[in-house]
Structure 1
Amino acid sequence: MLGLIKTKKQVVTRFDVVRLWGQDDAGWNFVGSDGATGGLLLIWDESVFKKNNCYKGERWLCVEGILIKNNYNCAIFLVYGAHNRDAKLQVWEELSYMAGLCQVSNCYMGDFNEIMHVEERQGTDVLPRSAEEFRSWVQDMHLVDLPLTNRKFTWFRGRSCSRIDRALVSVEWLEEFPGTRICGGPRGLSDHCPVILEHARQRVGPRPFRSLDSWFTHEGFLSFVKEEWRGLGEMPLTDKLKALTIPLGNWHKTNFGDMDKKIMRFEEEIKKIDDLVSNGVYDGTMEARRKALVTCCERWYVRKEVHWKQMSRSRHAKEMDKNTRYFHNLASARRRNNRIDTLLINGRLVRNQARIKIAAGSCFG
């Protein structure tokens, strides 16, 4: 799918689409420009995406349909953000309404004309009010702002540069396409870099040893580690850590596997006691059992929150909705951003993963 912003065309014809797309098998829709200002155009391969509905606003274009290969219902939004605060708020409100109307997985792409963090604008140390409101809107919509993998800014003019072009996807989108990521293309003569959304499934090398903060909330964790560590005898540290991963994985599965099911069981037991009390059945033993169940349930809620906060590495964890699916997919986005796709070796850009591994190993070997 191809999205173009600021087409400066009041009407887009099939001739225009074929000239851009290269062949006559494309579906398309557009929002006309206001004179020489604005204009939006979405083009897609009809063998890949089947359009069901199309909705338009002055600064956005939505195509709802089905990704044929996956039989997946979704809505693709192309957005050209407003420049003043009141107009921006109106665009966010319209997009929220459309998300409720479509009731499917969403992907928002385009020039949002707004930053979300101070480091996304060169020379800025205070976040403007409109940026705070934009970030709140993204969080309220449970959208994940996909990180750019190969550049910091997407808009340049003189010494000014900002990251205002982005892709936002719903939690459901990332659950269906966990390999979704974006990169910036060459800017050419434009002020903006094109944003390329791609879906890639790649596994690069073994995972590093990692301890989870939630483990330390378990009363038997430290004694378990000490016993396992002593049993490994005299081995190099790296070999010990590698050997420890297997018993740690088994311990984690036994003690922390299916946290949601554990919480659900405690909640069901609490509800049974509440139902008995509602029917007039009550004694001191029942009250003591209820307090014990509540304490255990609270402990598992804390463990679950600690686990996903660590996985997400969210800089704004205190401000965000403590929604596990949101944090899980934010963690997935972070892992994608940490992957090295290209490396400059002896003046040449190398994309071969085997060569990248060898070059990285030679630096630390």
Structure 2
Amino acid sequence: MLIVNLNIRGLGGGTKARYLRSIIGREEAEFVCLQETKTSELSDARCYNLWGDNKVGWVHNKGDNGSGSLLSLWNTKSFTYESHVMGKGFIIIIAQHIKSSSRCVVANIYSPCSLSGKKTLWDDLSNTKSVSRDRIWCMCGDFNAVRIRSERKGVKERGGQVSERNDFNSFIDSNLLMELPIVGKKFTWFKHDGSAKSRIDRVLVSEEWLRLWPMSKQYVLRRKVSDHCAIVVKSVEKD
């Protein structure tokens, strides 16, 4: 399974589309999760341009008139789409992964900045997962939260951040999720002048996911078209 995740901070023009197409083509991506598309309307033609051909399915969560919007895309030769669940801050795609003959769930997540907003989102995700019969889960995106203090540098500790970390770790543990090993950069978001950085983008999977793809890791790429780095989820042994 090969997934690309990026908070793209607006789809922009040709530069960002070319960057996405280059990653998708080079990595032979099967699924792409984008956060903050900053657009309320998308078309087949636009998604074909982002992917590089028309062998792509997609679901767009327009957020609040583009604010907080998400886009999930997948290779229709790799996945047979079944259904999706959409709410504030997430898109969940349920599909059959053709090569492994496995029914998988991929959640594309963009968490709000406020602690109350995060709690609402994590509760919504937890409730959706708890009633799902599917066990092969992957949650990836911009969680706007860190698990330990050292995952933020150059940012003054604010009131509530300890509670935020505790709540985020509780969400992960209660949903029996595990974080994939990270390769490459330790941080995924950088302030434009480099004075602050954090690891707020990540990939969490279920135990069943790891049984199916035991060599999976998350590779953090160099930052190019956004203040966030793209993450590529892949196995050492390509599946």
Do these two structures clear the TM 0.5 threshold for a shared fold by scoring above it? yes
| Higher RCO (CA 8 Å, separation ≥ 6 residues) | 2
Q: Compared with structure 1, are the counterparts of its residues 47 and 36 closer, same or farther at alpha carbon in structure 2 (3 Å cutoff)? A: closer
> TM-score normalized by structure 1?
0.53
Give the gaps of 5 or more residues in structure 1.
203-365
- Hey, which bits of structure 1, 4+ residues long, moved more than 6 A? none
Q: Answer whether contact 1:64 1:102 (CA < 8 A) is retained.
A: no
Equivalence for 1:135: 169
Equivalence for 1:117: 148
Alignment pair present for 1:174 and 2:210: yes
The DSSP-based 3-state class of the residue aligned with 2:222 is coil
Equivalence for 1:23: 53
Amino acid at match of 1:39: S
Of 130, 140, 152, the residue aligned with 1:100 is 130
Equivalence for 1:313: none
The DSSP-based 3-state class of the residue aligned with 1:119 is helix
Equivalence for 2:12: none
Q: Answer whether contact 1:181 1:198 (CA < 8 A) is retained.
A: yes
Q: Answer whether contact 1:7 1:33 (CA < 8 A) is retained.
A: no
Amino acid at match of 2:144: N
Q: Answer whether contact 2:185 2:221 (CA < 8 A) is retained.
A: no
Equivalence for 1:194: 230
After TM superposition, give the deviation of residue 143 of structure 1 in Å.
Answer: 0.5
CA distance in 2, matches of 1:167, 1:87: 20
Matches within 5 A, 1:1-365: 1-104=31-134, 105-123=136-154, 128-157=162-191, 158=193, 159-201=195-237
After superposition, what is the alpha-carbon deviation per residue over 1:242-298, rounded to whole angstroms, capped at 9, x for unaligned? xxxxxxxxxxxxxxxxxxxxxxxxxxxxxxxxxxxxxxxxxxxxxxxxxxxxxxxxx
CA distance in 2, matches of 1:22, 1:176: 28
After superposition, what is the alpha-carbon deviation per residue over 1:205-235, rounded to whole angstroms, capped at 9, x for unaligned? xxxxxxxxxxxxxxxxxxxxxxxxxxxxxxx
After TM superposition, give the deviation of residue 197 of structure 1 in Å.
Answer: 0.7
CA distance in 2, matches of 1:172, 1:125: 38
Q: Answer whether contact 2:81 2:96 (CA < 8 A) is retained.
A: yes
CA distance in 2, matches of 1:199, 1:72: 16
Identity among equivalent positions (%) equals 29
The structure that is strand-richer by fraction is 2
Amino acid at match of 1:163: R
> TM-score normalized by structure 2?
0.80
CA distance in 1, matches of 2:123, 2:94: 18
Amino acid at match of 2:90: W
Structure 1 stretch displaced more, 96-105 or 3-12: 96-105
Q: Which has the greater radius of gyration?
A: 1
Equivalence for 1:355: none
Give the gaps of 5 or more residues in structure 2.
1-30
After TM superposition, give the deviation of residue 100 of structure 1 in Å.
Answer: 2.0
After TM superposition, give the deviation of residue 200 of structure 1 in Å.
Answer: 2.1
